[in-house]
Chain A
Amino acid sequence: MAVKQIFISGLGAVSPAGWGVAALCAALNGATFPAGPRTEFSDRESSLRALRAPPLASRPSWAAHPRLRRASAISRFAMGASVEALNGRETNGRLGIVFCTTCGGVGYSRRFYDEALRDPETASPLLFPETVFNAPAGHLSSVLDSAAINYTLAGDSGVFLHGLALAADWLLEARVDACVVVAAEEADWIIADVLRHFRKSVTLGEGAGAVLLTREREANSRAVLERVTDSELVTPPGGKSARADAERRVVAALPPGPVTFPDAARLGEAFAAGAAWSVVAALETARRQRLARAIVCVPGAYQEAVGASFSMLGPEPT
């Protein structure tokens, strides 16, 4: 029988509020952060700040995997969110992975380029592999032990929603049995420097959000992916009113109901990861409040707006 529905069967998050969906939702619902997530980059001007994800309280088993020994923060965030979304599920080698990002592994990239500028003869070969956009995706496949298809998508914040659509296609075509879609970003002064050119009042954030999509309804399934809208391009890119226009067009294309937007004011601007947090939070809120739908609109940082809707599942028939 052809698969017609794609189920949302797991959620994961790492954010300045902590590791886990519960910490994310508590922060978005108004709880205060644990002490100390705000960072000033000590080697740069004091005006550059970020909301950082706190260190892990204890070392989970996946953190001991050799692939993650020198992995960047973005890889660890992606791993943490994905493992939470999988919730112990066996991958059977048929787990697809879609990794989404706007900025990528910028910390190692900046460090490596800095070394290369100082003296390319001594630039560290250990840093370079982690600069590649798909390094986190490769680590995920290796640690989660799946040889199935694995894509990295780069784009504006809404790239996470494009990732959901891509994963749904793979599942509908039976290329994979399940697929983790994860978006992650890491904070670095160079991105904080970029951000102040465009949105001075917004602080940079970091972390990851993940959604597990499955072809079959599972015990953890809580929603069905209803639709991902077309992209509405912001023209000219970055323009405030153009951004608002694109957002309006996306909202008009979505079903009626309360719409969740990324909350950069509370958790920092985390681009694709911020979009993933809004999906996770919308699904959690809809579950708690017994709403029929979760609806998300991601206006994007500079290029496009895109939206998605999810139909919430009732109790599984016995």
Chain B
Amino acid sequence: MVEGGGRRVVVTGCGMVTPLGLGKVVNAEGFRTGRAAFRPVTLFDVSRQRAKVAGEVDLPSSLPVVAAQARPLRRLDRAGQMLLWAVQEAKQQSGWPAGLGASFIVGTTGGGMSLGEAYYRRAFQTPEKRRQQPTRAIGYQAYRQVALVGRACELSGPMNVITNACASGANAVGHAWELVRSGRADRALAAGYDAVSQMIFAGFDALQALSPTVCRPFDRHRDGLALGEGAAALSLESLESARSRQAEILAELVGYGAATDRHHPTQPQPDGDAAVMTMTAACRCAGLTPADIDYLNAHGTGTTLNDQAEAIAIARWAGPRAATLPVSSTKAGVGHLLGAAGAVEAAICVLALRGQWLPPMLATTAVDPACAFPLVTRAGAARLNHVMSNSFGFGGANGTLVFRKWP
């Protein structure tokens, strides 16, 4: 990473869809108060799964008003629709005029997984019935969904789909930041999205990673994660570009670190080596030390192994600062949003900086002794200048972002 150089990159638009609701206003209030939004799964049968709940999004029956024709957009599945809502909100807030080129960088793990599942069921059970199968096959592809949404929202620049498992959203934001910072793009819209799907739910359940009770990150009695769904988008642009348009600046993105944990496909290295690397790299390129960070939005899935390794990594990275560094995981409220998680949590950081509050996790009551830092378990105001967000994924993908309050 080029340290200390490059253009300043600011956030001028933010859009969110989570189980807490549609839009950043309702989400800011939900995350500020620590509201939890889990319910029994309605999207498919979970009667033979260990876990029965997830954070599901209630989507409106109509799509947002966008530039493109409505017909192709109707082919988007739930995941694609969530992406469309989030991107449209971010783009609208940023006020980017039509035709202004912007890169579109999106993270996801499943793309249009529900369409892929439907394709498989039809191909396996009734292979002679081919109607709609080509539409499902194309619609399943994340790149196709991203292209549709990008076109609908008049994002005319290059597109990339990053599929780094649960770090995808953070990597998308980080990559977009690098594009703008280096001058390869003046503007980039970064997003993450994923919907709860039967296959992924069954997968996490098979790994016994889902909580059969309540998701309680960093609690000594934690017993797993809860899955959720959603999308978030951030409009990133150079400070010069934002100023020239007299755009409202929501926050500045000042640091990004990425590294790979080589330990195991689904488990973190117990001492959190790669997490230490990403937190250190993100701080270094922001020109900050742990003492400058006022809040850490942890990956904090609620699984025994992740939270243990992340707690150790935070203590190693923060040193003496750990004793006073507020930490929470917003997965306590909406669940693990997989490819959307990093982008949603980045958006939460922006909202927290704007509102000067700490997102609490109310279900965590018995703090794991491995936590050498104070956990945010009650809603409250705070003075925040710099906040950090961690995202770690299967395959060892790790990413950390650092945001600064504006002005």
Contact = CB atoms under 8 A, between A and B. Distances in A.
A137 B127 contact: no
Contacts of B1: 173-175
A135 B277 contact: no
B396 A150 contact: yes
A214 interface: no
B199 A147 contact: no
A302 B138 contact: yes
Given A134-B397, A137-B395, A147 B274 contact: yes
Centre residue among A102, A120, A173 by max chain B CB count within 10 A: A120
B255 to A, nearest CB: 14
Given A146-B260, A147-B274, A173-B2, A237 B144 contact: yes
A121 B48 contact: yes
Interface of A is mostly: mixed
B259 A148 contact: yes
Interface stretch (B57-65, B155-163, B303-311, B367-375): B155-163
B341 interface: no
Interface stretch (B23-31, B115-123, B236-244, B380-388): B115-123
A44 B80 CA distance: 31
Interface in A1-60: 44-45
A149 B260 contact: yes
B394 A135 contact: yes
Contacts of A109: 199
B265 A139 contact: yes
Interface in B154-208: 158-165, 171, 175, 178, 182, 184, 198-199, 202-208
Contacts of B123: 190, 193
Interface in A151-202: 151-156, 159, 162, 166, 169, 173-175, 190, 193-194, 197-198
A152 to B, nearest CB: 5
Interface residues of B, number: 63
B262 A141 contact: yes
A152 B163 contact: yes
Given A139-B265, A194-B137, A124 B206 contact: yes
A155 B49 CA distance: 32
B124 A125 contact: no
Given A121-B48, A128-B207, A193-B123, A135 B260 contact: no
A316 interface: no
A117 B116 CA distance: 14
Nearest to B135: A197
A174 B6 CA distance: 14
A142 B395 CA distance: 9
Contacts of B127: 44-45, 193
Q: Determine which residue in B137, B144, B260, B397 has the highest number of CB atoms from chain A within 10 A of its CB, and name it.
A: B260
Nearest to A133: B163
A154 B260 contact: no
A149 B163 contact: no
Nearest to A109: B199
B390 to A, nearest CB: 16
A104 B208 CA distance: 24
B147 A233 contact: yes
Contacts of B260: 97, 138, 141, 146-150
Contacts of B261: 147
B175 to A, nearest CB: 8
B134 A112 contact: no
B206 A120 contact: yes
A221 interface: no
A119 B202 CA distance: 10
A237 B199 contact: no
A290 B120 CA distance: 48
A153 B397 CA distance: 13
A124 B120 CA distance: 18
Nearest to B277: A147
Contacts of B203: 112, 116, 123, 125, 128, 131
B109 interface: yes
A223 to B, nearest CB: 22
Interface string A228-239: 001101000110
Given A138-B394, A155-B143, A116 B202 contact: yes
B266 interface: yes
B395 A135 contact: yes
B395 A132 contact: yes
B336 to A, nearest CB: 14
A169 B180 CA distance: 12
A116 B198 contact: yes
Contacts of A304: 147
Interface in A236-275: 237-238
B290 interface: no
A150 B266 CA distance: 16
B137 A197 contact: yes
Interface string B111-149: 100000101110110010010011001100111100100
B273 interface: yes
Given A123-B202, A138-B265, A133 B273 contact: no
B163 A123 contact: no
B49 A121 contact: yes
B158 A230 contact: yes
B144 A197 contact: no
A120 to B, nearest CB: 4
A260 to B, nearest CB: 23
A152 B106 CA distance: 12
A90 interface: no
B343 interface: no
B49 A120 contact: yes
Contact of A135 (B46, B147, B265, B273): B265
5 A-B pairs closest in CB distance: A138-B395, A128-B203, A116-B202, A133-B163, A134-B395
Interface of B: 1-2, 46, 48-49, 109, 111, 117, 119-121, 123-124, 127, 130, 133-134, 137-138, 141-144, 147, 151, 158-165, 171, 175, 178, 182, 184, 198-199, 202-208, 258-263, 265-266, 273-274, 277, 393-397
17 contacts: A97-B260, A112-B199, A116-B198, A116-B203, A117-B121, A119-B48, A121-B48, A129-B207, A131-B199, A135-B394, A146-B260, A146-B262, A147-B260, A151-B164, A153-B160, A174-B1, A197-B137
Given A45-B127, A123-B206, A302-B141, 20 more contacts: A113-B120, A113-B198, A113-B199, A116-B199, A128-B204, A128-B207, A132-B395, A134-B163, A134-B165, A146-B260, A146-B262, A150-B164, A150-B396, A152-B164, A154-B111, A173-B178, A174-B1, A190-B123, A197-B133, A303-B143
